[in-house]
A and B are shown apart, each in its own frame.
Chain A
Amino acid sequence: MLVSVYRYNPEIDDAPYMQDIHIDIPGGKDIMVLDLLQLLKDKDPTLGYRRSCREGVCGSDGMNMNGLNGLACITPLSEVVENDKLVLRPLPGLPVIRDLVVDMSQFYKQYEKIKPFLINDTPPPAIERLQSPEERAELDGLYECILCACCSTACPSFWWNPDKFIGPSGLLQAYRFLADSRDTATTERLADLDDPFSVFRCHGIMNCVNVCPKGLNPTKAIGKIRNMLISQAT
């Protein structure tokens, strides 16, 4: 099969370019894209990409495979290869450090903005703050996010305003703390989000839902933040 890989080493290259590599998959097996990258790296050790857990938990190997963001380690070739060709590019919209490695600073800055930790000013109980099973269930579909940035870098609103729009990933996390029964900073959190950019740049096109490797729904979480803002303000 033919693999076309985005290559850029700022120390050597003047501009990024696509490198075409023909490769035979051993035994014709349906391997994961990450395994394919290892085969490519065996051929050309200068190829750079991030990886760690190789089972879709750490979120390191988010990349753009034939136009769709996803985690290379849990994406089988059969899911993305078209006409025996695979185009691998770094996550769109973020500055490229080298090859498939992107600079995630802007993404993390947005995450930091939403204060991703429990805020509770009441005196802590002797052992722990308890939740009912129903209150705990509110966090399902929110806490599973691994911050791989597949969603935010698939979002045009994040591409145009990565410094102002929090992005689907950060907003999913924002709702994770707004929905937490143990958090007491709901009013302050909402006040921080009520500007024309942070939340309202989301136009609900659902690219985030389309690419999330964990099957989460940031658009739904954003809708719930909006509903909280509306019910607080009317």
Chain B
Amino acid sequence: MVTSITSFGRSGLYDWMIQRVTAVVLLAFTVFMIGYMLFNPDLDYQQWKELFECTSMRIFTLMALLSMAAHAWIGMWSISTDYIKPTGIRFLFQSACGLLTFIYVVWGIQILWGV
């Protein structure tokens, strides 16, 4: 058993599961967005605004946003533990990733509810 305190769920299985579940959510969101844009070639601001005013779309988008945050954290953490060997620099890199992810989430929520 290898101890790690900076991974997302601190259990390999938990991280693995979250990574897969969030990937499915992100895929669904991507497919929906591409489909929506393909079926609405004359998309204007009003229509775009109406789409994101709908509660179900807000739930779906927030879900995708949180999924991206978790997915990115697990992925970036894996990369940092593979390639960055000095503990100090690795911790700094992980902290920067965490801070950036948090900013994106808060900013994303602000945009989503600011429509």
Contacts and interface: CB of A to CB of B under 8 A. Distances in A.
Nearest to B4: A196
Interface string A177-196: 00000000000000111111
B5 to A, nearest CB: 11
Interface of A: 156-157, 160-161, 164, 191-201, 226, 229-230, 233
A164 B12 CA distance: 12
Given A157-B82, A160-B82, A196 B11 contact: yes
B101 interface: no
B1 A160 contact: no
Contact of A195 (B1, B17, B78, B83): B1
Given A200-B15, A226-B16, A195 B3 contact: yes
B72 to A, nearest CB: 16
Contacts of B61: none
A103 B25 CA distance: 45
A197 B13 contact: no
Contacts of B78: 196, 201
Contacts of B3: 195
Interface string B1-35: 11110010011110111000000000000000000
A218 B10 CA distance: 25
Given A161-B82, A194-B11, A194-B12, 16 more contacts: A156-B82, A160-B81, A160-B82, A164-B2, A191-B1, A193-B1, A194-B13, A195-B11, A195-B12, A196-B2, A196-B12, A197-B2, A197-B4, A198-B2, A199-B12, A226-B16
B107 to A, nearest CB: 28
A94 to B, nearest CB: 17
B83 to A, nearest CB: 7
24 contacts: A160-B82, A161-B82, A191-B1, A194-B12, A195-B1, A195-B2, A195-B4, A195-B10, A195-B11, A195-B12, A196-B4, A196-B10, A196-B12, A196-B15, A197-B2, A197-B4, A197-B12, A198-B2, A200-B13, A201-B78, A226-B16, A229-B13, A230-B13, A230-B17
A199 B13 CA distance: 9
